[in-house]
Chain A
Amino acid sequence: MTDWQPEQIEAFYRNHSRELWALFYSMCNDPERACDAVQEAFARLHDYHGQPVRDLKAWLLRVGQNWLRDAARRKSNSVHLLPGLDDHTSATLTADQHLQLKERQQQIREALRLLNDDDRRVLVMKYSMDWSAAQMASVMDCSAAAVDMRLSRARRRLAEILTEQGFSND
């Protein structure tokens, strides 16, 4: 067991798991895999017996990142299932609508994958966590105006990629 108490780990999980998910998501572009990386990082923290962990977030990020790297190596030998929308959409959509939504999600996911790392990261931080420019600026160590510029640039690039893919926004 690490020197962190279970209650502290739980509190950290509640407050930061979504942020960690977003960072992992920006690396792998796969919501389920990013979620697994979060779980894996916390599970390893619970069983950790090494040196005291000073910066918990950095430690979890490193563990999750390593796990993602290993998972990417194994990926070629495993069956990869696309994440489903069933949990979110339940019975409110017809089968056709559900299929359309799934295709649309996949198109946007693919477009995000084609962005460079910086553009993808800034979009994921903005839209998956709904952070303000000021919050993002403190993490990215730049001004809020610079964040807005990066966001704008990333959105334009994503629009170009989606247009090239023949994406229709009906």
Chain B
Amino acid sequence: MTNQHSDQPASEHGLSEAAVDHLLRDFFRLEVPLALNNPVRPVTVQAAVVPAHRPAPASRIAIVAALAALTACLLLMSSDAPVAPRGPGLAAGPLTVEPAEATLPVSSAPNADAGNVPVDENGLLLRETEEIRLNPGR
């Protein structure tokens, strides 16, 4: 390329060649479609699945930190709150974690009568649970 443009204007009040050079550079910077500035693959060749948004690592760290802070606040609030009476036999400490209930057996051997399956440690049968009325007061 040459940079030796004449600074003489094309006419008395006209543009110089250097001015036109500058003008054309600016013009084509806007004129060339962005798709060609950053070439894309021809759309007919293959469709690719692109995730709509993938958070940057920094933003992911921020999300994790915010969740951790929220969890800490909730734990702190629950430890300061007065403890409501709980069911019989359960510890009343503020941070006591109740043991998870054991899985109830609700089926037996393939050919057995399903109604005769005990569903608690007192020997209540599955059939008998059908007679239990929910909300008996209503």
Contacts and interface: CB of A to CB of B under 8 A. Distances in A.
A162 B42 contact: no
A43 B44 CA distance: 6
B31 to A, nearest CB: 5
B16 interface: yes
Contact of B32 (A21, A167, A169): A21
Given A132-B1, A163-B14, A127 B36 contact: no
A99 interface: no
Interface in A96-112: 101, 105, 108-109
A43 B42 contact: yes
Interface in B26-62: 27-37, 39, 41-46
B1 A126 contact: yes
Interface band, chain A: 35 or more
B63 to A, nearest CB: 27
A14 interface: yes
B6 A128 contact: no
Interface of B: 1-2, 5-6, 9-11, 13-17, 19-21, 23-25, 27-37, 39, 41-46
Of all A-B residue pairs in the complex, the 7 with the closest CB atoms, nearest first, are A159-B10, A163-B14, A159-B15, A127-B28, A127-B24, A46-B44, A155-B20
